[in-house]
């Protein structure tokens, strides 16, 4: 199999029932890949698989999976068998002041956003290392580079995701297994229905939101043209680098605006 093409590859996608994950599944099928859809709602996945098959003549595999359930992750991936690409997309956010955020909510968020993807990655890596080929793509966030008010837990979880990916990339050099990270800014999905119940933050960033299909297409592009990291949109990635270089200046100039979240 040509390692630089999606066609024929078995691509497992967590969080595939909506948003970016759903669009990734469509794009994989359009390019001739075989999507393996993983999410908590099997009914939604079945409906999605029907629509993908109707549009592309490729029938995705579907599996109910809560990535925070370590045993379920192990059992499910054993049942799936061979995987060429794992896209760790499952995750959610919750925006609230730090003092109002329950510790249990932080734990739940880390169970999904961090420990869930660790479990999924550990489940597929032995086979990839044995074959000396494969790819793991981590969907992180630009929040992994710029922490903002009311997003302490979410930003911390995405910092962890990027750190895991960076470390793993170096560990797996020369093994044939590639690691990439995608850092999207705000994306027009149902993410904000849970993360931003008031709708105030979504209203502020609506004009700069990316469409999920664009993020999905660029994510699937990484299978054909692997790279270390991808910031979306590019200008926001450049702005994040500016923040890392001059954090105090950015805090002074834009702190009041960021606190309006």
Taking the mean position of all CA atoms in its chain, how far away is CA 209? Answer: 16
What's the Rg (C-alpha) of the chain? 18
Question: Which structure tokens are listed for 86?
Answer: 């794992």
* Stretch (H or E) spanning 231: strand 229-232
How far the first Cα of the chain sits from its last, in Å, is 47
Q: Which residues, at least 6 apart from 29, have a Cβ–Cβ distance to it below 8 Å? A: 35, 52, 55, 56, 58, 60
Other beta carbons within 10 angstroms of residue 118's beta carbon come to 17
Annotated catalytic residue: which of 26, 63, 92, 154?
154
26 catalytically annotated: no
Q: Which residues are catalytic?
A: 154
């Amino acid at each position: 199999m040509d390692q630089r093409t999606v066609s024929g590859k078995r691509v497992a996608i967590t969080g595939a029932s909506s948003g970016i994950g759903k669009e990734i599944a469509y794009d994989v099928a359009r390019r001739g890949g075989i999507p393996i859809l993983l999410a908590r709602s099997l009914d939604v996945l079945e409906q999605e698989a029907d629509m993908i098959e109707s549009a592309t003549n490729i029938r995705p595999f579907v599996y109910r999976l809560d990535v925070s359930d370590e045993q379920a992750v192990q059992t499910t991936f054993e049942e799936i068998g061979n995987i060429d690409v794992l896209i760790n997309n499952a995750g959610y956010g919750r925006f609230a002041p730090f003092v109002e955020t329950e510790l249990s909510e932080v734990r739940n968020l880390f169970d999904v956003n961090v420990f869930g993807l660790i479990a999924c990655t550990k489940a597929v890596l032995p086979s990839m290392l044995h074959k000396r080929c494969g790819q793991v793509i981590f969907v992180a966030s630009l929040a992994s580079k710029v922490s903002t008010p009311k997003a302490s837990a979410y930003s911390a979880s995405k910092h962890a995701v990027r750190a895991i990916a960076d470390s793993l990339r170096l560990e797996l050099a020369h093994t044939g297994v590639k690691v990439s990270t995608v850092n999207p800014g705000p994306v027009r999905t149902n993410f904000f229905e849970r993360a931003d119940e008031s709708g105030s933050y979504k209203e502020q960033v609506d004009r700069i939101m990316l469409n999920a299909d664009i993020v999905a297409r660029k994510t699937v592009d990484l299978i054909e043209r692997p790279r270390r990291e991808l910031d979306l949109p590019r200008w926001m990635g450049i702005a994040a680098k500016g923040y890392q270089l001059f954090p105090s200046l950015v805090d002074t100039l834009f702190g009041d605006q960021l606190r309006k979240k």
